[in-house]
Structure 1
């Protein structure tokens, strides 16, 4: 077996709000979105449509977001489980201090930016759906 890519699929309550959150705060771009009708894909979010799925990308990072009702149908093991996670999505980035400063006044749940014993400068943030994002940069 060879794994060629790992892309998290976040269960979310609102596709549009989640796309906006990840694009405004972290520079993710919408790759595609699937409307409720599931009869095709859109490259932009149309105001008159509701969506059940979207894929976003920023550099080599890719995330999928799927509306809760649709997610629970596809991922039957998730039935009865709340949205959110007890796992963090750890991302190595460049420019951590600039990112941290840009998020400071946005009323987000965010930890202090700290230097770790394992040689990283990092902080954690909880997204609007309860997922834990970790941002890290190697110390020089």
Structure 2
């Protein structure tokens, strides 16, 4: 479950950037400021709460270790997802090949949660 400061803003981000859809009772969004969202086999719960933990955003994942948590996802095609995110106007980190054998990128959601996406790299 991700604590978010504005449920509607977060739902819009996750739907637009990654194709998530609300799968829980839509009335819960209004009544409880809560939702379960799904994209493929991945489900997340979002809950609107106060989230100020004293960090300044955006955090550069290449330069900082300040973020409290990283959520790591394994999409079927990381390049296709990266291209989609960029076409939608978001600014993820560059798509890189890591020293630990992954092809990956990261992006922060509107509340600063670090989302990383990777797949096994075919090249070193």
Q: TM-score range by the shorter chain?
A: 0.7 to 0.9
Rounded Cα–Cα distance in structure 2 between residues aligned with 1:22 and 1:135: 14
Q: CA 1:81–1:33 in structure 2 vs 1: closer, same or farther (change >3 Å)?
A: farther
In structure 2, how many angstroms separate the alpha carbons of the residues matched to 1:34 and 1:105?
Answer: 28
Report which structure shows greater RCO (CA 8 Å, sep ≥6).
Answer: 2
Runs of 4+ in 1 over 6 A off after TM superposition: none
Match of 2:21 among 29, 37, 41: 29
Change (3 A) 1:82 1:60: farther
Paired residues in the alignment total 112
Structure 1 distance, partners of 2:89, 2:26, is: 30
Structure (1 or 2) with the larger CA radius of gyration: 1
Give structure 1 stretches of 5+ with no counterpart: 1-8, 36-40, 70-77
**Which residues of structure 2 form unaligned runs of 5+?**
58-66
TM-score by length of 1: 0.67
Kindly tell me: are residues 29 and 21 of structure 1, through their superposed partners in 2, closer, same or farther at Cα, counting changes over 3 Å?
Answer: same
SS of 1:22's partner is helix
Matching of residue 81 in structure 1 with residue 81 in structure 2? no
Q: Which of the two has greater strand per residue?
A: 1
Q: TM-score, normalised by structure 2?
A: 0.75
Over aligned residues, Cα RMSD in angstroms? 2.5
